[in-house]
Amino acid sequence: MMKFSRCILALSAIGSAIAAPTWNSSTVDRSNLTIALIRTPPPNWPLPLTNYNYTGITFNISECVDAGIELIKDAKASGSDAVVFPELWFPGFPKGSDSHYNFTRDYLPSYIENAITLGDAQWNRLIAAIQAVGIYANLNFAEVEGDYIYMSQALIDPQGKIMHHRRKLRPSGAERYFFSDGVAEDLKVIETDYGRWGMLECGEHLYPSMTFNMYVQREHVHFAPFPCLAGVGDETSLWWENEWVNAGTLSVYSVLSGAYSFVAAVGATFVIDPFGSRVAHINANASFEEFPMLYYNLNTSGFNSSQTYDVNGQASWGTLSQIVDSFPGYVPKVEGEFVKHKNVSIVYLMTGDLVIPS
């Protein structure tokens, strides 16, 4: 049975330093989980939402981390147990990378230089801030490892430990021209003190190759960061940037997974319950200064963490086998090129020679 949940009004940033708590799992109140969804943009990011012109913009990961640390502190000071950042908030989503503003030539090299590497100085600053206040954090960031750049997510516990780290399985659209692929094995749901948590990014919620194995694992809380979401009536937004399309997508996800879905995005931000209904929301045009976050509170004491799958569910081995067995006979059963793992060399990207087809 679903437990009572309630929305807490979005609050202005508090900005004050707070003392390090004495956090331990034995004091967790499962009847009272509060999650803060960041909706304010990172520093040095073009506004309004559908402005793709980077003229005069300089990426600066140190400034992004400074801002992120303040938001982490503010979320905790406001009573939150977890904080969720939008997709690629560190150092900012490269919107308009396929536009006529020559992003890949003029800005991509600097973007790569301002990505995070796990264990580097900027990463360690974020971890130290999380540990200092004692909060769960869903970090969403551009990650460099070796010769590749990835669209990455990490779930960090209040002690600063990485509970799960993954990379977007197949970056969407123009993203895949410069971000390398993640791996399907990282589609995992993690047990926490507040039930079973999982995460995907943006367009991954549209595709069964990403969603099905997550449905199977019976999440309770799902983090669904998007880079930005324009309002329903914003005709300047691309289809995937619009709240209307993605609210429907996340409603389906919540129903099939049985999870609360928490959608953090610059602009429109919302929460969907397991019945597919939107239960909390801030409009895209709401002030970022007045409403930097959306807070939502729910009772997790009724979550059954012993049920990690359902052999009789809509997402099960049985339903997957039925799909495979009934696959249209006239369609060749070949892998094709699309799902093959794709890597893109940073050495090449730094030349500025990449041109994304229009």
Residue 243 within any structural domain of the chain: yes
Whether the pLDDT of residue 11 is over 60: the answer is no
Whether the pLDDT of residue 23 is over 60: the answer is no
Better pLDDT: 206 or 27: 206
Gap between the Cα atoms of 248 and 253, Å rounded: 9
Burial of 101 (0-12, 13-18, 19+ CB in 10 A): middle
The count of structural domains within the chain is 1
Supply the range of the domain harboring residue 288. Answer: 5-349
For the segment 13-28, the average pLDDT, to the nearest whole number, is: 50
Give the confidence band of 135 by pLDDT, cuts at 50, 70, 90. Answer: very high
Whether the pLDDT of residue 133 is over 80: the answer is yes
Residue 354 within any structural domain of the chain: no
> What are the φ/ψ torsions at residue 185 (nearest 5 degrees)?
-60, -20
Whether the pLDDT of residue 288 is over 80: the answer is yes
Residue 214 within any structural domain of the chain: yes
Tokens 């990505």 -> residue: 115
Give the confidence band of 102 by pLDDT, cuts at 50, 70, 90. Answer: confident
Percentage above 90 pLDDT, the chain: 83
Is the backbone of residue 240 left (phi > 0), alpha (psi -120 to 50) or beta?
Answer: alpha
> If you average pLDDT over every residue of the chain, what do you get?
92
Better pLDDT: 4 or 31: 31
Residue 49 within any structural domain of the chain: yes
Query: Are the C-beta atoms of 199 and 153 separated by less than 8 Å?
Result: yes
Whether the pLDDT of residue 38 is over 90: the answer is yes
- End-to-end CA distance of the chain, in Å? 49
Percentage above 70 pLDDT, the chain: 92
Better pLDDT: 160 or 234: 160
Gap between the Cα atoms of 139 and 85, Å rounded: 6
Residue 100: the pLDDT is 64
Angle between helix 243-257 and helix 208-216 axes, rounded to 10 deg: 40
Residue 26: the pLDDT is 62
Reported as a single tens digit per residue, the pLDDT across 44-63 is: 999 999 999 999 999 999 99
Query: Are the C-beta atoms of 122 and 65 separated by less than 8 Å?
Result: yes
Q: How many CB atoms lie within 10 A of CB 17?
A: 10
Whether the pLDDT of residue 73 is over 90: the answer is yes
For the segment 193-200, the average pLDDT, to the nearest whole number, is: 98
Give the confidence band of 13 by pLDDT, cuts at 50, 70, 90. Answer: very low
Residue 244 within any structural domain of the chain: yes
10 CB contacts (<8 Å, ≥6 apart)? Answer: 282, 286, 290, 291, 292, 293, 294, 295
For the segment 184-188, the average pLDDT, to the nearest whole number, is: 98
Residue 355 within any structural domain of the chain: no
Give the confidence band of 96 by pLDDT, cuts at 50, 70, 90. Answer: confident
Better pLDDT: 100 or 10: 100
Gap between the Cα atoms of 267 and 229, Å rounded: 5
Reported as a single tens digit per residue, the pLDDT across 212-250 is: 999 999 999 999 999 999 998 888 888 888 899 999 999
Q: The CATH number of the domain where 292 resides is what?
A: 3.60.110.10
For the segment 71-92, the average pLDDT, to the nearest whole number, is: 98
Question: What does each C-alpha distance from 339 to 7, 171, 176, 181, 207 come to in angstroms?
Answer: 40, 11, 12, 10, 12
Residue 358 within any structural domain of the chain: no
Residue 356 within any structural domain of the chain: no
Gap between the Cα atoms of 227 and 223, Å rounded: 13
Angle between helix 121-133 and helix 61-77 axes, rounded to 10 deg: 10
